[in-house]
Every structure is written in structure tokens, then in C-alpha cells.
């Protein structure tokens, strides 16, 4: 969309030839082919030797549907079952990933490079950890999640498997949201002090469905909002359209009823960004003079509508206003104290961090904590990654985020008018941005249901970007 707008202002040629765009291309690996590097690497050479032997074998034929079933099982199980059950399926998924890559040759997706760098940073942090045994547990978890990304991105190169996986996620959110709405209707006991006990909202029901935590529920459902809209738009049968539309609507309602302030902000950011991109999809029928005013009108109208809703509903107004009260809100005050202690931890372990994993954090944090402010995490994704993996870990994560976002937007801009699959890339990119916004003041991102959705979204972007590259190469060869 950015490229389309630049074209209308007749500066696209200047921008695409500038140092800024060149830097973006290098960060996102937009014009870089990693296939020669992969083929010359040890894993690539092993794959090249094994895959011809496995071609046509029974195990090779059943490996893709088996891997897809395992991925679907992960998506179905994660919001309903404890971490131990999810971990068991993650191990099966890891084995499936190794077998799939050994038996079938596939291209090395560009996004795999920053993902690999992130994993390497975690490994270095493990080696430098003062709690090696505890950090090993965290490093194994990171490895399992990254293997899920490898599995999903491998499968999603076929758009049919991508559609099946996303439909599984959206369908799974339906019972989760319906139970959340039931809790709002009948009342749900708070399992922790989620609201300042001294505020007038102390008795407000915050829904959490099967996930046990309203902030976690908001993070888990966030991606369903844009993905459900895309399902409603592109799926052919009315039954599938109904699933997509309901998943999006119910997810948005449940996020509001979680009273998660981070979830609210993330929902607004995701909705605005996706609406901005989606209107570009529809506005191709309008003249350029009208087209440029559509996003501006959307932003102004959205803020006006949001302001009216907050002003009209006292509970929402009070909860929203608590964002700006600083230490006047007990939750804000708690997080500020935790962040101050975490900064001390980062200063003590700047290069390799304390080591990956929540168990390592729980072991070392008490030496730095403020009195009466014990914590299980840093309550911020950037701070958590920095304290666990050091500054190099943060830099590799920033690279991963920038590469994913830029690849998603480039895929959208280049395939906007030619391929409906670009909508999936746009929805995934917007959800990734929303999860990051939510993660600035919370760490539900590290919980299995949200982690799986995150890497699912990254896999969608990686596969769609790779498909765009393949089409670009085909078009160039035909010319």
C-alpha cells in the first residue's frame, strides 16, 4: 500500500532508489536469495543426499498430511490443556519437522535467517548463563517453538495447508470466545488481583475463558480479528464465511470484555492498520483523488468512534483512564517497580543476559527486586528478551520483527491487485504488530497459546513472501 501511495505522489522512483529503501531491502532480505547458501551448508547437503532416496516412499507421501495434523493438534489443544500436554505435542512436532525437511526438498525461506540468528542468540545466552541447568529448559522451549515455525512455513508454501491451519485456529477460537461471553453473562471469579482493589472497578467481571488469565485471553484472540475478516472475504462457502465472520466479531467482543488495557490498545492498533490496508484493497475502484482521503477519514472516524464509546460507557472510561495515571494505579506501580529491577539485571548481564526461560528469571530476579515486588517475568517483551539473552538477543529479535513486518507489507503492496492470498499476509502482519504493542507492557507472548499463534503468523508472512519471490522469478524468466 505504501508503494501505491508513493506512486500516486510520483515519488516512488525516488524512494525505491534511496538509501532508506536500500536499507529496508537489506534488513528484510527482499532482494536476497539464500538458496545457494543453504545448498552449500551441511544441513542442505544432507537434505540433498537423503531426499532423492526418500522420493516416492510411503513415509514421504504421508509426511505432509501427518505434519499438518500435528500442527492442527497444537492449535486445537493449546487454549484448553495445560503446558505439559502442549509440550508433548511440541516434541512430536519437532520430530515431524526434522523428518519433513529430511524427506522433502524445499527452498530456504528468507525469514529463516533472522529466526536462526534469534535461536543462535538464545544458545549463546544459554552458554553464558549463571543458571545453566535452568536456562537449558528455556532454551529447549525456544528451540521447540522455532521448529514449529519451520514446520508451519514449510507447509504454508502450499496455500491449501495454510488455509487449513488458519481455519483450525479460527474455529478453535469459537468455543473459547463463547465461554468468555458466558462468563460475562453469569459472572466469573477472579483468579488473581487483576484490578486495583481500591478502585471502583474492583468487582468488575474480567473474562478469561479457558485460559485462566484475561490478558492471556486477549493476546490469544487478537490475531482472530483480522484473520477472521479475511476468511469472511475470501472463503467461498457461506459456512466458512460464517466461521470467519463470527470468529472475528466474537474475538473483538471478548478482548473488550477482558478489560486488558494492553489488549485494548493492541486491538485498536491492529484494527486501524488492517482497515488501512483493507481499504486499499477496496479503493482500487475509486479515483486517485478520492482514494487518498479514505485512510485519513478512516483514522479520524475510528478515533471519534472510540472516543464516543469510552465516554458513553463509564466502566470502559475509568479502565482506559487508568492507563495514564502512572503510579496511581496499583498495576502500573507494580510494573514500574519490576521494570526498574529488570534494568538493574540488564546492567549486570548486558552481553549474554541471565539465560533463556522463566525459571532462570525466577531464580535471579529476587537478588534485584524491590521490597514486596516479587515477579515471575519482566512484564515487557523487549525487556524480557534483553534480560534473558542480552543486547545481542534484543538486536536479533528487532531484526526478526523488522524483517517480518517489511516482508508482509512488501508482499501486500506487490500482490495487492493480483492475488487474494495477499490478504492473509496483510492480516498476519497487522496481528504481529498488535501482539508487539500488547507485549510492551506484558509478557503473555511467552505463554504457549500466544507463542504458537505468533509463530503461525510469522510462517504465513514467510511463506507468502517466498511465493511472491517465486512469481517474480517466473515473470522475469518469461520476459
Q: What is the pLDDT of residue 285?
A: 57
Question: 117 with 142: CB under 8 angstroms?
Answer: no
On whether residue 91 sits in a domain, the answer given is yes
On whether residue 10 sits in a domain, the answer given is no
Give me the number of domains the chain comprises.
1
308: buried, middle or exposed (CB in 10 Å: 19+, 13-18, 0-12)?
exposed
Q: Distance (Å, rounded) from C-alpha 278 to C-alpha 273? A: 9
On whether residue 315 sits in a domain, the answer given is yes
On whether residue 50 sits in a domain, the answer given is no
Per-residue pLDDT of the chain (479 residues; tens, 9 = 90+): 444 444 444 434 443 444 565 566 667 666 666 666 666 666 666 666 666 666 666 666 788 888 999 999 999 999 999 888 999 999 999 998 888 877 776 667 888 889 999 999 999 999 988 989 899 999 999 999 999 999 999 899 888 999 999 999 999 999 999 999 998 888 777 666 555 555 555 567 788 888 988 999 999 999 999 999 999 988 989 999 999 999 999 998 899 888 888 888 899 889 888 888 887 777 765 666 666 666 666 667 666 766 666 665 556 555 555 555 555 566 677 778 888 888 989 999 988 889 998 899 888 988 888 776 677 888 889 999 999 999 999 999 999 999 999 999 888 877 665 667 788 999 999 999 999 999 888 888 889 999 999 999 999 999 998 888 777 666 555 44
Grid coordinates belonging to 296: 485519513
For residue 221, give the nearest of 160, 280, 175, 281 by alpha carbon: 175
Q: What is the pLDDT of residue 316?
A: 58
Q: Distance (Å, rounded) from C-alpha 263 to C-alpha 255? A: 6
Question: 181 with 137: CB under 8 angstroms?
Answer: no
On whether residue 61 sits in a domain, the answer given is yes
On whether residue 21 sits in a domain, the answer given is no
CA atoms within 13 A on the CB side of 407: 33
> Which domain range does residue 424 map to?
57-158+282-478
Q: What is the pLDDT of residue 280?
A: 76
On whether residue 419 sits in a domain, the answer given is yes
Geometric angle at alpha carbon 402, from 463 and 16, rounded to 5°: 90
Long-range contact pairs involving 56-65 (C-beta distance under 8 Å, separation at least 24):
57/103, 59/99, 59/103, 60/103, 60/104, 63/96, 63/99, 63/100, 63/103, 63/104, 64/100, 64/104, 64/155, 64/158, 64/161
On whether residue 457 sits in a domain, the answer given is yes
Q: What is the pLDDT of residue 172?
A: 96
Amino acid at each position: 500500500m505504501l508503494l501505491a501511495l508513493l506512486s500516486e505522489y510520483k515519488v516512488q522512483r525516488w524512494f525505491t532508489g534511496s538509501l532508506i529503501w536500500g536499507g529496508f531491502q537489506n534488513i528484510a532480505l527482499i532482494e536476497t536469495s539464500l538458496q545457494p547458501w543453504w545448498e552449500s551448508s551441511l544441513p542442505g547437503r544432507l537434505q540433498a543426499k537423503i531426499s532423492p532416496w526418500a522420493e516416492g516412499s510411503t513415509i514421504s507421501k504421508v509426511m505432509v498430511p501427518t505434519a499438518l495434523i500435528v500442527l492442527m493438534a497444537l492449535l486445537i489443544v493449546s487454549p484448553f490443556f495445560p503446558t505439559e500436554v502442549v509440550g508433548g505435542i511440541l516434541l512430536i512436532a519437532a520430530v515431524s519437522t526434522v523428518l519433513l525437511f529430511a524427506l522433502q526438498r524445499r527452498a530456504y525461506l528468507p525469514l529463516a535467517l533472522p529466526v536462526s540468528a534469534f535461536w543462535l542468540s538464545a544458545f549463546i545466552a544459554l552458554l553464558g548463563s549463571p543458571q545453566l541447568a535452568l536456562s537449558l529448559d528455556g532454551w529447549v522451549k525456544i528451540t521447540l517453538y522455532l521448529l514449529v515455525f519451520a514446520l508451519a512455513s514449510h507447509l504454508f508454501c502450499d496455500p491449501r495447508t495454510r488455509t487449513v491451519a488458519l481455519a483450525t485456529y479460527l474455529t478453535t477460537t469459537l468455543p473459547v470466545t463463547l465461554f468468555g461471553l458466558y462468563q460475562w453473562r453469569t459472572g466469573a471469579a477472579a483468579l488473581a488481583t487483576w484490578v486495583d482493589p481500591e478502585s471502583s472497578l474492583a468487582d468488575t467481571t474480567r473474562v478469561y475463558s479457558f485460559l485462566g488469565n484475561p490478558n492471556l485471553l486477549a493476546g490469544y484472540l487478537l490475531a482472530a480479528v483480522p484473520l477472521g475478516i479475511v476468511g469472511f472475504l475470501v472463503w467461498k462457502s457461506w459456512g466458512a464465511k460464517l466461521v470467519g465472520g463470527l470468529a472475528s466479531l466474537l474475538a473483538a467482543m471478548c478482548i473488550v470484555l477482558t478489560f486488558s488495557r494492553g489488549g485494548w490498545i493492541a486491538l485498536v492498533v491492529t484494527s486501524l492498520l488492517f482497515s488501512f490496508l483493507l481499504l486499499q484493497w477496496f479503493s482500487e475502484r475509486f479515483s486517485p483523488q478520492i482514494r487518498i482521503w479514505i485512510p485519513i477519514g478512516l483514522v479520524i472516524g475510528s478515533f471519534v468512534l472510540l472516543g464516543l464509546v469510552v465516554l458513553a460507557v463509564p466502566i470502559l472510561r475509568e479502565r482506559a483512564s487508568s492507563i495514564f495515571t502512572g503510579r496511581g494505579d496499583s498495576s502500573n506501580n507494580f510494573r514500574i517497580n519490576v521494570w526498574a529491577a529488570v534494568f538493574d539485571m540488564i546492567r549486570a548481564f548486558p552481553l549474554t543476559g541471565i539465560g533463556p526461560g522463566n525459571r532462570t528469571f525466577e531464580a535471579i530476579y529476587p537478588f534485584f527486586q524491590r521490597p514486596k515486588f516479587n515477579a515471575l517475568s519482566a512484564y515487557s517483551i523487549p525487556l524480557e528478551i534483553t534480560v534473558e539473552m542480552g543486547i545481542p538477543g534484543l538486536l536479533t529479535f528487532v531484526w526478526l520483527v523488522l524483517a517480518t513486518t517489511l516482508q508482509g507489507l512488501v508482499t501486500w503492496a506487490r500482490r495487492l491487485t493480483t492475488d487474494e492470498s495477499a490478504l492473509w499476509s496483510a492480516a498476519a502482519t497487522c496481528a504481529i504488530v498488535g501482539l508487539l504493542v500488547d507485549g510492551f507492557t506484558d509478557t503473555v507472548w511467552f505463554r504457549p497459546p500466544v507463542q504458537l499463534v505468533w509463530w503461525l503468523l510469522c510462517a504465513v508472512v514467510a511463506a507468502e513472501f517466498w511465493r511472491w519471490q517465486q512469481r517474480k522469478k517466473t515473470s522475469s524468466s518469461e520476459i
